[in-house]
Structure formats: C-alpha cells, structure tokens
Amino acid sequence: MGFFNKIDARQTGYQIMNPTLLELPRGGNSSHDFLVIARTKHIAKNIHGKQYQLARQVATFANLTYDSFGRPLLKTGKWSKLLVEDFGDSEHHCKGEPNIDKYIGPEDMKLFWTRTGEPLLIFTHQVNDKNMCQGQFLIDVRAALVELEQILGPELSSLLPPIRFASPAGLRRDAPPGQENHRRYQREKNWAPGQSPFSSESELLLMAEPGQLFRWISNDEPVELVLGAKDQRSAVEEPYPATAKPGETWHSRRKGHVSQTGRTRSCLAWYNGVKTRLLRRLHGTTVE
C-alpha cells in the first residue's frame, strides 16, 4: 500500500513513537484498517523502595486517510489501551550494563500474522534470571487485547485458529558453553519472527540476530537452531563484515564501529550465504 509517512494519534491523548502495525482483514464488520501498538512516554514508578522508569505500550485502531497534500496518513480515534501492564517482576540485573536496571516494562513490540491466521505480538521485557536480564516474549494479540475480536466481528473471528499463546511465553536460546555471561546473551532484544514457505504452516521461526535463525519448539523448551553448527554463520562476529579489521566488528569493545557500508555488505553477504545453503539443502546437495 505504499509508505505511511505519518500516524496521527492525537485523539488518544498519547505521544507515540516506534509503532508497529497489523493490517486488519478487509470486509466483515471491521470499521478499521489497522491495529497500531506504539511506545509512549516512560513514567517514574517506585517499587519496594526502588525507583524505576516504566515503559508503556499503547494500542489503538487506525484508518488510512490522506492529508491535504494527498500523502497517506493513518488516523486513530479516541479509544486506546495500555498493554501488558501487570506482567513480570521488577527485579532484574544486567551484569554488563547496570544502568539498564532502572528500566522496566514492555518494549519493542512487533505485530505479525502467521500463515494460519494467528495475530501474534513479540516484545522485550525484564526477567529475573541469573544470567539474562531482558528476554523476548510472545503472546496472541487476542489474549493481550480482547477488543481485537470485537473489531473483527464474530464471522471473521471464527475463522481464526485457536489461541496458542494465551499468556506471554518466554523465548530463550541456549548460549554456547562458557558464554552464558556474555552481554550478547544477557539482553535479548528485537527478535524478528518469520515463517518459511517450504515448511509447515504452524512452524514459527525467529531471528535472534543476523545469521542466527531459530525454530520455536514449545513454551517449556529453548528455541533450536535451524541450521547445524557447522553451517551457522553470524553477521556480528569476525570475519563479518569482510572489510573490517580485527577487533572492529559490531560487538567489539572498541568505541569505533564499522561503517554503514560495511554493515550493509555484511547483511548482504549473510543473506546470500543463508539463501544458498537453504536452497542446496532443499535440492538435496551438500553445503561446501
């Protein structure tokens, strides 16, 4: 549908940023085009004598309109709702980044439809764990926002599959032995969900970082690598990008980082490599 250059959410009374959109099915009883979830301002909160900055995520529905210049504009109504307000414990500790300890609440929400028609929501939240301080969680939007089914109407809602994630399900990956305390595995953020057209419609894939593709197994098990260890490539470790000098990769301790050009080349190299390996696997050939 093109580029949405603006979301007008003034009627909700919230200032928003970092929005995620879920396009709603056409037809039926729905009078809205999109579900919008976005971050609004943090608020100060005292819990057990500790002062925190609480992140908040606001949900609202919007319609596609156009401004006086003919540019697309998503415009919301007055209705809005804060999500995942009472989830989780405030206690957590980021060993490598203690300044993060004061931030709590849901962050970085991402909406998406699965191939079977599940409206899912993935987000970041603090966790009270001996190694990890922020983790990824997955929930069905219908469980987090019951108003969605009301907007869709009974006919469309009846076509959706049963709710798989009725409450926030924690997503975790196993760190390599000896790296459990590495900051790379302490703060899990911005996992990208996806699905493969060559696999089961119910299969759920998650990219933890460029080159690290995992498969969701169950709520009680860690995600598993899609590719074997010998085929695994990471776009955040040496020698990626190929143009970077030793010690200058994205996770380097040095202050200087690779250029945007280097990052782009790295992502392209990773994408081409993964595509080649997957295609060879599909055709039954070995990967060199």
- Return the number of other C-beta atoms located less than 10 Å from residue 179's C-beta: 11
Smallest CA-to-CA distance from 208 within 191, 196, 224, 222 is with: 191
The more confidently predicted of residues 109 and 86 is 109
Chain center to CA of 247:
29
Give me the amino acid identity at 207: M
Residue 191: closest CA among 108, 88, 278:
108
User: How does residue 67 score in pLDDT terms, banded at 50, 70 and 90?
Assistant: confident
Name the percent of the chain lying above pLDDT 90: 54
Is 99's pLDDT higher than 70? yes
Query: How far is it, in rounded angstroms, from Cα 135 to Cα 175?
Result: 13
Q: Which of 39-53, 230-244, 250-264 has the highest mean pLDDT?
A: 39-53
Between 258 and 57, residue with greater pLDDT: 57
- Kindly report the number of other CB atoms within 10 A of residue 126's CB atom: 27
Quick check: 114 pLDDT over 90?
yes
Tokens for 224? Answer: 């598993």
Phi and psi at residue 190, to the nearest 5°: 55, 45
Q: Between vectors from CA 243 to CA 237 and to CA 247, what angle results, nearest 5°?
A: 45
Name the residue type at position 81. K
Q: What is the pLDDT of residue 42?
A: 95
Mean pLDDT throughout 1-14? Answer: 79
Whether the pLDDT of residue 236 is over 70: the answer is: no
Confidence of residue 1 (pLDDT cuts 50, 70, 90): very low
Question: What is the pLDDT, as a whole number, of residue 96?
Answer: 76
User: Per-residue pLDDT tens for 190-230?
Assistant: 999 999 888 888 899 999 888 789 999 999 999 999 987 66
16 vs 8: CA distance, rounded Å? 9
Q: Can you give the pLDDT at residue 261?
A: 40
- The pTM of this model reads 0.79
pLDDT tens sequence across 123-156: 999 999 988 999 999 999 999 999 999 999 999 9
The tokens describing 176, both together, are 């390599």
Per-residue pLDDT band for 265 (boundaries 50, 70, 90) equals very low
Average pLDDT, the chain: 83
Q: What is the pLDDT of residue 234?
A: 66
Position 35: which residue type? L
> What pLDDT, on a 0 to 100 scale, did the predictor assign at position 131?
87
- The CA distance from 162 to 176, in Å, is 35
